[in-house]
Homo-oligomer: A and B are copies of this chain.
Amino acid sequence: MGFERLHDHWTVRLGHTDAAGVMFFPAAFEVEQEFFERWLEAGGMSVRGMLEGALAPTPVVHCEAEYRRPVRVGDRLAVRLAGVGVGRKSFELAWEMALDGAVAVAVRVRRSSIDRASGHAVDLPPELRSWLESSQARTAAIT
């Protein structure tokens, strides 16, 4: 459950694949969302907390993925946080999903803190910034 080490395994299930026999490409972002939530929880925060008002929500403003090798049902991906970018109102997490030691899918997602009422971007909350910075120190800075 925990994600303190900033890496863990994740197994591809039938529902993540398509008729071409490989992972359906948007599923890479579902994996990212799951690991983002686990990363948040390892830092003492949660998406549930965001929805209930304990923390400014962080909707996705940009995402991208690069698919380097096919991933199939039953494959056990090694997922790790590979880099962190910290802005004033937004941040970016870079993830690598590897198979047999080679990166199969690389994903980057940028999220922005917003005010729940107005929807406008706001400064990252201190506890989020702090967890981003300590995660960045353990991985790499990205821009």
Contacts and interface: CB of A to CB of B under 8 A. Distances in A.
A74 B11 CA distance: 20
Q: How many copies does the complex hold?
A: 4
A65 B22 CA distance: 21
For chain A, what secondary structure do more than half of its interface residues adopt (helix, strand, loop), or is it mixed? mixed
A119 B64 contact: no
A55 to B, nearest CB: 12
A47 interface: yes
A61 B28 CA distance: 12
Given A9-B1, A15-B18, A67 B59 contact: yes
Given A70-B59, A73-B48, A119-B70, A13 B34 contact: yes
A30 B19 contact: no
Contacts of A30: 13, 15, 26
A33 B20 contact: no
Interface in A1-53: 1, 9, 11, 13-15, 17-22, 24-27, 29-30, 33-34, 37, 46-48, 50-51
